Amino acid sequence: MRFIPRFILCVAMLGATVSFAQQNDQTLLTVGDEKIPASEFVRIFLKNNQASKAIDSKSIEEYLNLFINFKLKVSEARSAGLDTTASFRNELAGYRQQLSRPYMVDKETEQRLIEEAYERIKYDVNASHILISVPEQADYSDTLKLYEKAIAIRNRIAAGEPFEEVAKATSDDHSVIQNKGTLGYFSAFQMVYPFESAVYKLKVGELSMPVRTRFGYHIVRLNDKRPAKGQVKVSHIMIAVAKDANPEQQELAKNKIKDIYKQVVNNEDFGQLATQFSQDPGSSKNKGELPWFGTGNLVPEFEQVAFGFERDGQVSEPFQSVYGWHIIKRLGRKEVGTFDEMLSEIKKRLSTDMRSVISIEKMVEKIKKENNFKEDTLNLFSVIALIDSSVYSGKWQLPTLKENNVLFSISNQKHDQLEFCKYLVQYQKKPVYGSFYSLVKRAYAEWVNKTVYSYQESILDQQYPDFKNLMQEYHDGILLFNISDINVWAKASNDSIGLLKFYESKKENYRWGERVHYAIYTCTDEKQLAKAMKMVISRKTKGLKPEDIISKLNKGGLPLVQLKYLVANPDDKDIIDSKTWTKGLSPIFDNSGVKSFKELIEITSGDIKNLSDCKGQAISDYQQLLEEQWLKSLHEKYPVVINKEVFNQLIDSFVKK
């Protein structure tokens, strides 16, 4: 989220309020034409002073000044029309969508789903399934036939035929050829919700009735259920083996992983080996490290080894999976946390899982009951009569209605046939199937739910004062950011002429502390460098500059001596001991065959910095100046009147509290 000043964007509400503001919500101040009630100031003040142990009149007065400045800037933003731009409306709509989510779910259903998910997370389940695909275009009669097919397949297994053999003969899941229908171990959130629920409700060895998911009908058998193994974190090295690799290529990969393993055994750094040799592009860049994972996330061969370690730091011998050869090193292991520890993660996963729809559907039912929802589905038949085959190709056009009857109403809003027909024009753009009747019924149900849900979102401000206040804060916060960026932040950064002028007028404020100026002489030949050192020792008595010495030394065709001037702080590691150098010269030191020594030139303090050396601080100070000038002009443009009587009463109520 973009930066919005803390004093206007505190989300948590403080339960306590000042009784004065509740009982006598008079105008506290006027900014231009806007009258601001005491309650608004109190609410925002309390939000941003929750940690304060004591509130006195001085802190309230200081905060009032901040609040006034904020209101002045927002008034200017509105005057400039920033609240009417498309970018502003889109950004605020995005925030509203995020902030409304907690209000748009059925709390009881959500809590039940959270508790259910946690109980499931505590166990890993191993299941097998047979899939009977149901095409999206299937109508009721076709769906019934496929259900009857699923029942017939289930009856064969119940009568004693081996599950695996029946699966190979009947399942539409293409992986059945390799796994005979066995899915291995998994946990909550790893399968579609109806499938997951069916598995967790079974007893070990039990066979389910056909379970419908978006893929079709499933016949499920629970093979095993065990306490969850938690999560493990590993680093790994992989040598890939293609599925169609010939014996020679397979042997080459095997020998390569063995060679790497020898280096691991010889205590070479595992992470560096992974970076150098691993053919897993996703993890090799990160020293072979994989994210934390649990049961069912990776292939069984990999998981078996990863969860088989007894302690962190253990390394496996090379082993093979369907992807190639691996070596694994365990980095960490953690068990399933407590409910409170897992709550945040479960909520996050729930929000992106299809089971969240259940909570929304419950909420829609609740909204209907609370807002006098009424419908007349007989009027839907008039719409069905207007549908033709062009709808299947997405070319059906909005018809001319002889009548426009109401299909449903909620509260005081009525939604008619024409509105629904407009929705159908958009609905047909995605794949549609079935009879005209079933198609229209599905579209109608979706339209009603979306409309009812949108209605509830639209009245949140009326139902929940805290939501209304929060939206106002985001509204004003975005305006504050945008207007401040225009008049202060971006202006200071982009106005190079103004910044230079400001720097010239204030450059006395930008000075260096103590700095060491030194030269470094470098050469590949130590004798030549020693000669340079002797000349440097005597250069001052002869009136020579370092450049003069370099010029003399480099005339004879011997290895060149190079000179470089540097400046550093006294505590820099390169010159930290410069005060102990004999005659201002460091000893000669060797760096990979290149010899060098340093000469202390001078120590200065208080030099004025160039603009390039203090640009960040100069921009910040320039912004402060622009801010002060801007606020002065705003006070002149929007007169501020404080109701002293109300403010004094407010202070008294705070201090007494």
Which of 440, 460, 480 is where one domain is finished?
460
328 and 401 together in one domain = no
Please tell me the distance from the alpha carbon of residue 220 to that of residue 339, in angstroms, as a whole number: 29
Which of 203, 227, 251 is where one domain is finished?
227
pLDDT digits 0-9 by tens, 453-487: 999 999 999 999 999 999 999 999 999 999 999 99
Which of 418, 435, 460 is where one domain is finished?
460
- Examine the pLDDT at 11 and tell me if it is beyond 50: no
**Is 142 inside any structural domain?**
yes
Q: In angstroms, what CA-CA distances link 90 with 87, 230, 480, 655?
A: 5, 42, 16, 42
185 and 268 together in one domain = no
Which strand (E) or helix (H) includes residue 565?
strand 562-568
The length of the chain, given as a count of residues: 657
pLDDT digits 0-9 by tens, 70-110: 999 999 999 999 999 999 999 999 999 999 988 998 999 99
**Is 434 inside any structural domain?**
yes
Number of domains in the chain: 4
- Examine the pLDDT at 53 and tell me if it is beyond 70: no
DSSP 605-656: -SPBPPGGGSHHHHHHHHHHHHHHHHHHHHHHHS-EEE-HHHHHHHHHHHHH
Q: What is the pLDDT of residue 440?
A: 95
The number of helices, as runs of H, and strands, as runs of E, in the chain is 26, 18
**Is 25 inside any structural domain?**
no
133 and 205 together in one domain = yes
Domain harbouring 317, CATH code: 3.10.50.40
**Is 599 inside any structural domain?**
yes
**Is 15 inside any structural domain?**
no
**Is 656 inside any structural domain?**
no
Q: What are phi and psi of 613, to 5 degrees?
A: -85, -15
pTM, full prediction = 0.72
pLDDT digits 0-9 by tens, 113-136: 999 999 999 999 999 999 999 987
Q: What is the pLDDT of residue 576?
A: 87
In angstroms, how far is CA 637 from the centroid of its own chain?
41
How does 562-577 read in b/e, with b if 16+ C-beta sit within 10 Å?
ebeeeeeeeeeeebee
Tell me the residue range of the domain where 396 lies. 371-460
**Is 163 inside any structural domain?**
yes
3-class DSSP state for residue 385? Answer: coil
Cβ-based neighbour number of residue 91 at 10 Å:
18
Q: What is the pLDDT of residue 356?
A: 85
Please tell me the distance from the alpha carbon of residue 266 to that of residue 502, in angstroms, as a whole number: 62
201 and 141 together in one domain = yes
Please tell me the distance from the alpha carbon of residue 638 to that of residue 341, in angstroms, as a whole number: 51
How does 432-458 read in b/e, with b if 16+ C-beta sit within 10 Å?
bebebeebbeebbeebbbebbbebbbe
221 and 254 together in one domain = no
> What does the block give as tokens for 10?
């505190």
**Is 53 inside any structural domain?**
no
